[in-house]
Structure 1
Amino acid sequence: MPLPKPPRRLILLATWLVVLGLLALWNGFNLRPSTDLSQFLPRGVSLQDEVLLSQVRGGVAARTLLLRIGGKRPTEALADASRALASRLRNDEGCAQIANGELDLAMRETDPDLFRYRYLIGPPGACVDALTEAGLRAALEERLAELASGAAMLDKERFGADPTACYRQLLRALIPQRTPDRRHGVWFSPDGGHALMVVVTHAQASDLAAQRRAVEQIREVFDDLPESTGLTLELAGPGYFAVGSEQRIKTETQVLSIAAGIATAGILALAFRSAALVLLGMLPLLSGVMVGTALVSWLFGSVHGITLALGATLLGVALDYPVHVYAHAAGADARQTKPVWRTLLLGMATTVLGYAALAWTSFEGLSQLGVLAAAGLITAALTSRYLLPALMPVGYRLPERRWLAAFQARRPQWSPRAGTGLLLLGLAGLGLVLSIGGNPWETDIRRLSTVPQAEIEKDSLIRAQLGAPDVSRLLYVVADEEATVLERLEAVLPDLEGLQAQGLIGGFDNVARWLPSPQTQAAHRAALPERSELTARLAAANAELPFRLERLAPFVDDVDASRDLEPLTAADLADGLIGTRVSMLLQPLGDAWLGLVPLSGVADEAVGPLEASAERLGIQYLDLREGTADLLAGFFAETLDKFLVAALVIALALALALRSLARIGLVLLPIVVALVWTFTLLILIQGSVNLFHLVSLLLVAGLAVDYSLFLNRPAADEADRLRTLLSVSVGAGSSFAMFGFLALSAIPALQAIGLTVTLGILCAYVLSLLLARAESVG
């Protein structure tokens, strides 16, 4: 007996689920989330933009981790733990630099290349200029005094090869100009409650895998230390936040999505009283998320965490599609549902046009949003329209809703004139807010954070305890050759030292202090005395002093060998004691070389002299905050342009579809009023509008288009009108619940998205209800 064929509905559902499973499998293997906020900055269009973005993405500040060791133990125990942790981390390949205040360590260590080249690159006063008879005499007397004082000479073992302490002075030049409090030889917070440390990683903050390994390695090393018993380790810094944000975004998105899903399922269950419809209604959303995520991952190679989080909730618009299908397909014939499908697809098309405009921007993060949203909405709308009706339970009928009929009968209907008045009132309020508050755009990239406020405050506290300088201001030079970069950095040294002496800047890092240009190194080499001359000077300088000349033979040998050395380059120092520091300040930029001079403690009155020096010497002054503010201002300008284009395209699409100026006006009026009021409320509540608010307003526009189109759709009869009211109300309620949960997020970016859309849904739904003018067909 042949087996019965499975029902068509079962085959269709199974096929859909298999496709979803394959998409989930593909995303699981290929999805690479990113939390690099610079993806929401434009691609560099000028040399300064390229420098700025290189520092935002991978500069010293972006690769710095701040560590704080605390616990209810004596300060000596904290210091021991700090030294033990630093010692272990210095052997870790992922750590480029470890600093915890151990000044003695650098003095005891010897870098062979650095030591060999000391007379070419060291401070002239203790190196080349000290090789005169008078200079040698003074140096030998200083060494004798040090020995006689009883104080330990940190470089005593190098005395025979370095009597002028050239190498000591070279190492001292590497010590940061501003340091925290020191206790027991390491850095401490001012109150003595925490030992402090700075770790610079090789990996960029945007390289989440490498940053995660670095953070995990630091924690594992600390936990394994015998000295860490009873102590705690806290971390801060961009790399740590990037790793934490990745997990936090995933966790919060999952938790909020579950909570929103439960609330949404509850609303759908109350509205349609069918578990099957509730479960089926989730499939178009899942399909949209899966297709959109896969497409973005394929096109861009990674998906930004904010794009993913927004996309997962962004398809709250798509939740309206199954609701419209359920409300209108149950018990209605094809003649009645055909106009509904046209309205559904028109709403989808106009919304997708708005998102598609974002895909053609110079902001990768914004482009990702546009692609994900457009692809997701198209998928959700098409699956809702062509798959859900065939999967609905046979014979399903909508539950009777007497309260809905009563609400429809008593629903106030305002005239278009009242709507125009609301628009003018909103514009007047917006103008008043802008006149009082000024520029509404948030252009401080530090506030565009995926990091909770508590973590930001901890970071600020550790930086304050470290006395960490503000490295947002710097000088830079770009040239084709490394030697040219070093020459220009040397030229600015006197100006910087003068500004520091005047107290106009607190300090600076200039690689030319440790790695002079080849021209300067050649000049130092040429100034070195010949062996016979140096021997004679040394003998004269040592007259009546107790040092034996044979003990100083290594010194004479080294100076003589230095006369044959070729100038040192950054590549020669890559693996040495000074190499890490040099690589931070002298780095490739495309086919050119970039030299950086980070400035700390820059007074406002120092900016003018800095810019003048930079212009005179062929280098550039850059304020990273001002630079990113300019880029973000460009973001707002370009996004607003795209919004204008999107608005015109949407209006044109509606005009072609509706073919009636009166109907076009009725549909557009609540949309425009809702956007104006939402924007005004955002400024009043938040004080400014950031890029997440602005992008979310496009989602508000999409929801408003959906509500207005359906509520202004000519109804076949009173039952059709009630079905429309039901579908719009249920869709608005479920979207409100979804984004309301997002507004509760501790992540500022997600909270901004949730607040914006929640306010927008409220305004769009109420205004669409009040201003709708749906008439019966015929």
Structure 2
Amino acid sequence: MSDAPLRPGARIALAALWLAVLLVAGWAIAQHLQLSGDLRKFMPSARTPEQKLLIDELGEGPGSRLLLVTLSGAPDAETLAAQSRALRATLSKDARFTLVANGEGGLEAFPERLRPYRYLLSPTLDTQRFDAAFLTEQVQSRVADLGSPAASLVEPLVPSDPTLETLVLAETWEPATAPQRIEGVWFDRAGKQALLAVQTRAAGFDPTGQREAVDAIQSAYTAAKQGKPGTLSMTGPGAFSVEIGGRTQDEASWIGMVDTIGLLVLLFVAYRNWKIPVLGALPLASAGLAGLGAVALLFDGVHGITVAFGFTLIGVAQDYPIHFFSHQRTGVRPYASVRALWPTLATGVVSTCIAYATFFVSGVDGLEQLAVFTIVGLGTAALTTRVLLPALVDPDLRDPAQSALLERLRAWVARLPQPRIAIFVLALVAAGIAAFAPGAFWQNDLSRLTPVPVDALARDAKLRQELGAPDVRYVIAIEGRDVEDALQRSERLGAALEHARAQHWLAGFEHAAQYLPSARTQRARQSKLPAPQDLRAALDTAVAASPFRADVFEPFLADVETARRAAPLVPADLAGTPLQVRVDGLLRERDGHATALVSLIGLDAPGKVAALAQREGARLVDLKAASESLVVAYRERVLWALGLAALLLIVAVRVALGSWHRAWRVLAPMAVTTLVILAALRIAGVELTLFHLVALILAAGLGLDYALFFEHAGDDREEQLRTLHALLVCSAMTLLVFALLGLSSIPVLRAIGVTVTLGVVSNFILGLLIARHPHREDA
């Protein structure tokens, strides 16, 4: 573009065209944007079997899909039970749920087409034979049952199932510590709350699917109440993620509103020109859309964290137009002003991008997305500030160097000492505090980062205990050559765990072979089923001593013969049934082998159970320890990347500035600030997380920007005034954004906000003390 300024009409036309391009680009990106909520994208590749299991459980394990529901507030148990039944009836028909349990309808887990197989799945034939003695005992028991209050339950089963194998299976599949039943549905021990366990089809890492499921439950409950009093509450990973998402959205709304108003006011006060806030937004909008478009183009899905972090990190780009506005003055063409700034601006952009480019060696998909977003965004913001923005700016902008207030501030700054030894001592003291402050340096426990209130976590733990839900920390993993081998190993381990339960080492356990025995076990039971003529003879003997007619049990004879000739059930035969949900959560086949899981309930002796599992060729997996090892591995990769970034940054700044002395003046404030931030966080008892590391990179980028422009100003009085004005506006805007972020109740956002706020203050002060040149008073 020509250096000649455009006429006002042409400037308006160019601004309108730029805005139109942004709107079209935003629309096009929105059509192809696939947002992802899979947290596994922000985790390194799992290296150990325990870490691989953790990654699977976090995303697709049954525990991540389970919602625990309580109904309360109704005047009596009968009303709560009716609401529970109505809620279950509605949700059972909803495709968004794979399992809805409230203690009733246990036989539905065993669909009609699989009923003949009950003799292969039930443990009865392990100890009994269908001979005349056993059948006579069972037929007489059914006669007694039909004269009892349970007659309505038993009567439909008797013709096809005189031994009640269906009920045996239902009891076998019942949780070991199932809640009490009142009015036929689950209640807590106090009898004040009706309980339901709901498993979603959406994976635990799918925030949209989990929100839809939570909304569906709320809607179904509103209908189930039928205007009567009552309250529904939910816990579980999905409910927590929805709650956190809502709270994050609420906080983002008010923080964003305050930030927007504050930034507009700040820009207007700083430049006394209503056009500046509008023009300054164009490079930032271009940066955000370019970064988002690049990630959408290069990756299958854009992670929500990438978008959130990316737009936060793009905050560095707001400095670029501000530097240009503050250095523009009457009599100087805008393109001449931006040309003079460009070497310094480009050095800052390149240096910051180097830091994020090192994320490409981290091996973490989420960090690679973040690097692409930030590098493309910062580059776009810088280039649009260099190429397009000068054409839109009024050449006669008010010169900040003519401000009397700023001159007084400059004079005060001129009297500040520029210590060298004191800065060195500060760095040593900060390093010592960071290294030797009491308490752990790193936070490896992911659960400590959750914004879920303590009382909500306590309520979730209590409900899990009430419902007999599996332990969320420990699981036993059994590796098999194939599904059959894994099931056989599960059966052997199950026998050993029965001993552990008798010793009160655990309250109960659940494994796939409880629902689908191995083919070997099914064949062994099948071999004990009598031939048709033998079974009929034994049954005739049993019926002769009862009031039943001889032909009543023809369906029973047919089912036994079907079971005797059938091929053993395999996982594929369970497709479309509630049993599939249970087995799929506990049995996985991939990469040429199978893994069977054993969920544990009420584990009190992990060491003893681990030794028992090891004797059976299995292993007790501590998912908490696996998560911590994963965090450590993640952090090590990030730290190596940052170490590489530091070396590249030193080289880049040295090459750009041409001397080690100038490079030291620019790099020292950033380095000392990093130590000061670490010391401040450690004094406050903060254990550092990966999010603090990302925030430290952002703070370092800001510090580099401040120091470069202090260095760029040289000793010219007016240039120093303009630089001081630009950096005051930049730091005030950044401080406003991140100070509000530091007030967030979300630990991740609070960590970033506090860290960057400390960095802004320290970088500005140290930049003044180290990077600025002495003033030429005669200028």
Query: Could you tell me which residue of structure 2 aligns to residue 50 of structure 1?
Result: 52
Report the alpha carbon displacement of residue 395 of structure 1 after superposing the two structures with TM.
Answer: 1.1
Report the alpha carbon displacement of residue 555 of structure 1 after superposing the two structures with TM.
Answer: 2.6
Q: Secondary structure, in 3 states, of the residue corresponding to 1:415?
A: coil
Query: Could you tell me which residue of structure 1 aligns to residue 65 of structure 2?
Result: 63
Q: Judge conservation of contact 2:695–2:755 (CA < 8 Å) in 1.
A: yes
Mapping 1:180-199, distance limit 5 Å:
180-199=179-198
Q: Judge conservation of contact 2:702–2:763 (CA < 8 Å) in 1.
A: yes
Query: Could you tell me which residue of structure 2 aligns to residue 720 of structure 1?
Result: 719
Mapping 1:106-125, distance limit 5 Å:
106-107=106-107, 111-124=111-124
TM-score computed with the length of structure 2 as normaliser: 0.92
Q: 1:427 aligns with which of 418, 431, 434?
A: 431
Give the distance between the partners of 1:609 and 1:128, measured in 2 at CA.
27
Query: Could you tell me which residue of structure 2 aligns to residue 76 of structure 1?
Result: 78
Cα deviation 1:227-267 (Å, max 9, x = unaligned): 35332333332233444545554454343223212112222
Report the alpha carbon displacement of residue 386 of structure 1 after superposing the two structures with TM.
Answer: 2.4
Query: Could you tell me which residue of structure 2 aligns to residue 156 of structure 1?
Result: 155
Query: Could you tell me which residue of structure 2 aligns to residue 752 of structure 1?
Result: 751
Q: Judge conservation of contact 1:31–1:302 (CA < 8 Å) in 2.
A: yes
2:381 is equivalent to residue 376 of structure 1: no
Query: Could you tell me which residue of structure 1 aligns to residue 763 of structure 2?
Result: 764
2:644 is equivalent to residue 640 of structure 1: no
Q: Secondary structure, in 3 states, of the residue corresponding to 2:399?
A: coil
Report the alpha carbon displacement of residue 432 of structure 1 after superposing the two structures with TM.
Answer: 2.3
AA aligned opposite 1:722: L
Query: Could you tell me which residue of structure 2 aligns to residue 98 of structure 1?
Result: 100
Give the distance between the partners of 1:595 and 1:711, measured in 2 at CA.
63
Query: Could you tell me which residue of structure 2 aligns to residue 496 of structure 1?
Result: 497
Shift in alpha-carbon separation, 1:229–1:368, aligned structure 2, 3 A: farther
Give the distance between the partners of 2:74 and 2:560, measured in 1 at CA.
53
Q: Secondary structure, in 3 states, of the residue corresponding to 1:563?
A: helix
Query: Could you tell me which residue of structure 2 aligns to residue 741 of structure 1?
Result: 740
Give the distance between the partners of 1:13 and 1:246, measured in 2 at CA.
36
Give the distance between the partners of 1:205 and 1:228, measured in 2 at CA.
32
AA aligned opposite 1:346: T
User: Considering only aligned residues, what root-mean-square deviation do their CA atoms show, in Å?
Assistant: 2.8
Query: Could you tell me which residue of structure 2 aligns to residue 550 of structure 1?
Result: 551
Q: Secondary structure, in 3 states, of the residue corresponding to 1:67?
A: strand
Query: Could you tell me which residue of structure 1 aligns to residue 229 of structure 2?
Result: 230
Shift in alpha-carbon separation, 1:480–1:331, aligned structure 2, 3 A: farther
Mapping 1:169-208, distance limit 5 Å:
169-208=168-207
Q: Secondary structure, in 3 states, of the residue corresponding to 1:229?
A: coil
2:295 is equivalent to residue 291 of structure 1: no
Report the alpha carbon displacement of residue 755 of structure 1 after superposing the two structures with TM.
Answer: 1.8
Cα deviation 1:266-321 (Å, max 9, x = unaligned): 22222111111121112221111111112222222333222222222222211111
AA aligned opposite 2:355: G
Q: Secondary structure, in 3 states, of the residue corresponding to 2:71?
A: strand
Shift in alpha-carbon separation, 1:422–1:17, aligned structure 2, 3 A: same
Give the distance between the partners of 2:157 and 2:636, measured in 1 at CA.
62
Report the alpha carbon displacement of residue 6 of structure 1 after superposing the two structures with TM.
Answer: 7.7
Report the alpha carbon displacement of residue 730 of structure 1 after superposing the two structures with TM.
Answer: 1.2
Q: Secondary structure, in 3 states, of the residue corresponding to 1:343?
A: helix
Report the alpha carbon displacement of residue 193 of structure 1 after superposing the two structures with TM.
Answer: 4.0
Query: Could you tell me which residue of structure 1 aligns to residue 367 of structure 2?
Result: 366
Give the distance between the partners of 1:46 and 1:299, measured in 2 at CA.
29
Q: Judge conservation of contact 1:32–1:302 (CA < 8 Å) in 2.
A: yes
2:572 is equivalent to residue 571 of structure 1: yes
Give the distance between the partners of 1:82 and 1:776, measured in 2 at CA.
78
Give the distance between the partners of 1:452 and 1:486, measured in 2 at CA.
40
Report the alpha carbon displacement of residue 153 of structure 1 after superposing the two structures with TM.
Answer: 5.9
Shift in alpha-carbon separation, 1:312–1:769, aligned structure 2, 3 A: same
Q: Judge conservation of contact 2:339–2:386 (CA < 8 Å) in 1.
A: no
2:419 is equivalent to residue 415 of structure 1: yes
Q: Judge conservation of contact 2:433–2:682 (CA < 8 Å) in 1.
A: no
Shift in alpha-carbon separation, 1:685–1:137, aligned structure 2, 3 A: farther
Give the distance between the partners of 1:189 and 1:148, measured in 2 at CA.
31
Q: Secondary structure, in 3 states, of the residue corresponding to 2:504?
A: coil
Give the distance between the partners of 1:554 and 1:526, measured in 2 at CA.
20
Greater CA drift, 740-749 or 622-631: 740-749
Give the distance between the partners of 1:199 and 1:150, measured in 2 at CA.
30
Query: Could you tell me which residue of structure 1 aligns to residue 3 of structure 2?
Result: none
2:448 is equivalent to residue 447 of structure 1: yes
Q: 1:40 aligns with which of 34, 39, 42?
A: 42
AA aligned opposite 1:661: W
Report the alpha carbon displacement of residue 454 of structure 1 after superposing the two structures with TM.
Answer: 7.3
Query: Could you tell me which residue of structure 1 aligns to residue 597 of structure 2?
Result: 596
AA aligned opposite 2:742: A
Report the alpha carbon displacement of residue 171 of structure 1 after superposing the two structures with TM.
Answer: 1.3
Give the distance between the partners of 1:88 and 1:277, measured in 2 at CA.
56
Greater CA drift, 450-459 or 188-197: 450-459
Report the alpha carbon displacement of residue 515 of structure 1 after superposing the two structures with TM.
Answer: 0.9
Query: Could you tell me which residue of structure 1 aligns to residue 357 of structure 2?
Result: 356
Shift in alpha-carbon separation, 1:403–1:148, aligned structure 2, 3 A: same
Give the distance between the partners of 2:483 and 2:442, measured in 1 at CA.
40
Give the distance between the partners of 1:247 and 1:18, measured in 2 at CA.
32
Cα deviation 1:598-641 (Å, max 9, x = unaligned): 112222x433542x444444434322221111111111111111
Q: Judge conservation of contact 1:34–1:302 (CA < 8 Å) in 2.
A: yes
Greater CA drift, 482-491 or 6-15: 6-15
Greater CA drift, 470-479 or 752-761: 470-479
Report the alpha carbon displacement of residue 521 of structure 1 after superposing the two structures with TM.
Answer: 0.9
Report the alpha carbon displacement of residue 335 of structure 1 after superposing the two structures with TM.
Answer: 7.6
Q: Secondary structure, in 3 states, of the residue corresponding to 2:204?
A: coil
Q: Judge conservation of contact 1:674–1:763 (CA < 8 Å) in 2.
A: yes
Cα deviation 1:438-460 (Å, max 9, x = unaligned): 3x222222233465777656645
Shift in alpha-carbon separation, 1:35–1:755, aligned structure 2, 3 A: farther
Q: Judge conservation of contact 2:310–2:370 (CA < 8 Å) in 1.
A: yes
Cα deviation 1:722-762 (Å, max 9, x = unaligned): 11111112101110001112222233322222222112212
Q: Secondary structure, in 3 states, of the residue corresponding to 2:600?
A: strand
Q: Secondary structure, in 3 states, of the residue corresponding to 1:187?
A: strand
Report the alpha carbon displacement of residue 192 of structure 1 after superposing the two structures with TM.
Answer: 4.2
Give the distance between the partners of 1:358 and 1:643, measured in 2 at CA.
8
Give the distance between the partners of 2:592 and 2:436, measured in 1 at CA.
51
2:220 is equivalent to residue 221 of structure 1: yes
Cα deviation 1:112-153 (Å, max 9, x = unaligned): 23321011111135x772424443344334334434555436
Give the distance between the partners of 1:180 and 1:554, measured in 2 at CA.
34
Q: Judge conservation of contact 1:107–1:155 (CA < 8 Å) in 2.
A: no
Q: Secondary structure, in 3 states, of the residue corresponding to 2:565?
A: coil
Q: Secondary structure, in 3 states, of the residue corresponding to 2:569?
A: coil
Greater CA drift, 750-759 or 29-38: 29-38
Give the distance between the partners of 2:466 and 2:193, measured in 1 at CA.
9
Provide structure 1 residue ranges, at least 5 long, that are not aligned to the other structure: none
Q: Secondary structure, in 3 states, of the residue corresponding to 1:533?
A: helix
Q: Secondary structure, in 3 states, of the residue corresponding to 1:380?
A: helix
Give the distance between the partners of 2:385 and 2:460, measured in 1 at CA.
47
Shift in alpha-carbon separation, 1:410–1:108, aligned structure 2, 3 A: closer
Q: Judge conservation of contact 1:452–1:747 (CA < 8 Å) in 2.
A: no
Report the alpha carbon displacement of residue 15 of structure 1 after superposing the two structures with TM.
Answer: 2.9
AA aligned opposite 1:431: A
Give the distance between the partners of 1:454 and 1:774, measured in 2 at CA.
55
Greater CA drift, 722-731 or 253-262: 253-262
AA aligned opposite 1:14: A
